Amino acid sequence: MNINLKNYQEKAVGELIASFKALLTKDEQKKVCVFQAPTGSGKTLMTAKFIEELVRELPETDLCFVWVSIGKGDLHLQSKHSLERIFGGAPRVSLVEEEFTGGRERIVRNEVVVVNWEKLRSKDRATGDWKNVLMKDGEKLNFRDVLAKTREQRKVILIIDESHIGATAERTNELRDEINADVILEMSATPKIKPDPRDLARGTAGYVFVEPKDVIDEGMIKKELIINEKIDEITDNEADSQEIVLEVAYKKRLELKKLFEAEKSNINPLVLVQIPTAEAGEDKIKAVKKFLADKGITERKDGTGNGKLAIWLSEQKSETLDWVAEPDNEIEFLIFKQAIDTGWDCPRAHILVKFRESHSETFEIQTVGRILRMPEQKHYTSEELNRGYIYTNVQSIIVKKEEYNPNIIKHLKATRKDVYKPIKLISYYKSRADYGDITSSFTPVFEKTACEEFGLKGDHTLFAQNVKKVESEGVILDIKKYQQEIIANAKMEGKTFDEIEGKIDSSDRARLMIAGNDLQALFEQIIKNNLGSFKNIKRSVPAVKTAIYSWFRKYLGSKEWPEEMILVQMVFVHNGNRKKFEEILAGAIEKYKAVREKEILKRVEEGEQFYDFEIEKESFFNQHTDERVDYEKYVYDPCYLNVARLTPERNFEKFLAENDDKIVWWWKNGENKQDYFGIKYEYPAGVVHTFYPDYLVQFSDGRVGIFETKDMGDRDGGTYTKTKAEKLQEYIKEQKGQKLFGGIVIEKSDGWKINQKPVYDWSKCERNDWSDWEKLKI
């Protein structure tokens, strides 16, 4: 399947391969590599691609894989479906309960066997015997026997999906003991146990970590989750907390639906309503159904109702949830009584309503993970769509700190003060447009190029006629097997061995059938050799392969060929055909450059925005990453600032507080979001960046100051700082009618200095290019 990996996904796959190559060389059993990646980052996709690449890069190593799901539910079925979709037929994916009921002795080479350990592990308490027929001793081979026989021939890699579930429990240790794998890959967003640093140093353990920021920047998950936004604006004195929570969630869903329509997206945002599991849960379901019925939202039952409401209970099979996940599905509210399976994906889920549990007021990532994903794996122009929303009627909230992504849940609210008046600063924001890759838009270009080469008219129903035309051009299609020619009977004289230099050849040749993995490697190498200026090989090769397969299927009817992909590869790489197809491929890629340039230009235009910037009326913060500070003139009340602020920033804030008689308000800027103030600049020429100055300050005389703090030891005068400083002065000059000033500010022993020169030169710090703050006459 043609899937373009995100940059962080490519990096993680590469690190996993490097780690496993090293671990497989070690003699110890049960070596562990921990793969920690945020919810919504695509752990299954990355691990599947890791399996594909590992098999390809280690053709001499005999491997197989056991993919295990821990915990109740049918996550293993979803995993199997996902792996089959990604692999597209190879490697083979099997379910243990379908394939290993006594008829098979071993797991075959490169096979991935999917297991639900919860269903296999049951034992009789009295005797300790296995209950499941797949595990118990009997006349037929059980799965434990299969594993033992498999280990005689090949290495076993155990993959534990969502390894945090029961990670310290007896069942997980039992799982590791029974499978006795050569290497174990533990996948989790929140692993309970990480490798010992000493094992990492010795190379007997591995650890691959995906940065949450990278996942957010690629548009895969929401930028933040907001708790109880605007809940204080509901003024209905007759409504109880439960009704208010439902009301704000209902209104937010309508608001999000309109914003999606404005983005020309068909996404129908979904509200998840989690009901307490206690007896009071039944009453809650009735109350929620009544509230929604009054809004015209009802279940479809016995031919009545509009189907905008669905209810999923723990005893139902998870397959009933699959159709809810469709982007434009009619369901607007889904009530569930028990936490939905960890692996369930529903990217259109945007709002979570969580009612008070009698035993807990703690929010955890696993609870809110269902609303983390972005529905179309991108961020939108409207920042409202880039957030998730949680509404709850608990009296206080305890947010459990998640080490891997502590800032995702923001529940501390700050409100902009009334002294703030609109500033209308022109701000700049852009999303990434070019990855140097070939995309799915290459397929029509390749198809047209190939059809023109062979004189095909484009009527793809005339397969027999098209085959004759292609064969008349000298292309050999009737290939039963592809043989490669290799050197034979070459001799090297022992007495002159040390003097041998250059090519060793022989007039004899042997013709042998090419191995499947060698065929694929040759096919991909031909593609790589013809990518031209497209340097992102990993992202480009799958798109080109898809284009080639598509043309063979569409115009030559390869769908009916046995082992379609293998035969297409054989035709493509055959010595009699290769030159012709390379010419077609190179020509198509050359033509595609213009198509891709237009695509990129369009994405730049769509992703590049200049807009009137105003500080948001509300902002939300997290108790673990933000601290409350007592600054009277800060624009928000209360004042929350990031705990990771640098020393120059903290000192500048104190300086502002000491001079607050001249200040109306000040604000600490952020970065990489449209909520923040940005200035466009280029460095080097032609390479566009966004500069986010550290502070905006409204002074009593009406001027707005834009300041970037630097440390005295930061003498970055010739690169980015110089470019930013000069661009800031240029920006200030361009804003006609605005009372702006600003620049780079530093703290010296005799006070704060500011540089406002159009040409920035750090070396002149001791001279006139830097002014004393007091001389600004603020």
CB 677 within 8 A of CB 692: yes
* Rounded Cα gap, residues 95 and 135, in angstroms: 14
Closest CA to 430 of 569, 600, 634, 189: 600
CB 67 within 8 A of CB 51: no
Q: The whole model's pTM is what?
A: 0.62
CB 410 within 8 A of CB 225: yes
232: which DSSP letter? G
Helical packing angle, 143-153 and 170-179, nearest 10°: 50
pLDDT at 649 over 80: yes
pLDDT band at 367 (very low <50, low <70, confident <90, very high): low
Query: If residue 740 lies in a helix (H) or strand (E), which one and from where to where?
Result: strand 740-748
pLDDT at 165 over 60: no
CB 552 within 8 A of CB 558: yes
Angle at 66 between CA 63 and CA 68, to 5 degrees: 160
Cβ-based neighbour number of residue 653 at 10 Å? 21
Q: pLDDT per residue over 428-486, tens digit each? A: 887 666 667 888 889 899 999 999 999 887 665 678 888 888 888 888 887 754 444 44
Q: What pLDDT was estimated at residue 487?
A: 41
Structure tokens belonging to residue 287: 């109350």
Q: What pLDDT was estimated at residue 128?
A: 64
- Within a 13 Å sphere around the CA of 69, how many CA atoms are in the beta-carbon half? 21
Sign (positive or negative) of CA dihedral 244, 247, 249, 255: negative
In single-letter form, the type of residue at position 602 comes to: K
pLDDT band at 498 (very low <50, low <70, confident <90, very high): very low
Q: Which residue has the tokens 């707005």?
A: 704
Please state the rounded mean pLDDT for residues 333-360. Answer: 73
Q: What pLDDT was estimated at residue 564?
A: 78
pLDDT over 70, % of the chain: 76
* Rounded Cα gap, residues 373 and 387, in angstroms: 10
Q: Which distant-in-sequence residues (6+ apart) come within 8 Å of 562 by Cβ?
A: none
Structure tokens belonging to residue 534: 């497209």
Q: pLDDT per residue over 172-221, tens digit each? A: 566 667 778 899 999 888 777 778 788 887 888 899 999 888 888 888 88
Supply the mean pLDDT for the chain.
Answer: 80
pLDDT at 513 over 60: no
pLDDT band at 348 (very low <50, low <70, confident <90, very high): very high
pLDDT band at 510 (very low <50, low <70, confident <90, very high): very low
pLDDT band at 496 (very low <50, low <70, confident <90, very high): very low
pLDDT at 36 over 80: yes
Please state the rounded mean pLDDT for residues 488-505. Answer: 42
Q: What pLDDT was estimated at residue 563?
A: 73
Q: pLDDT per residue over 611-622, tens digit each? A: 899 999 988 888
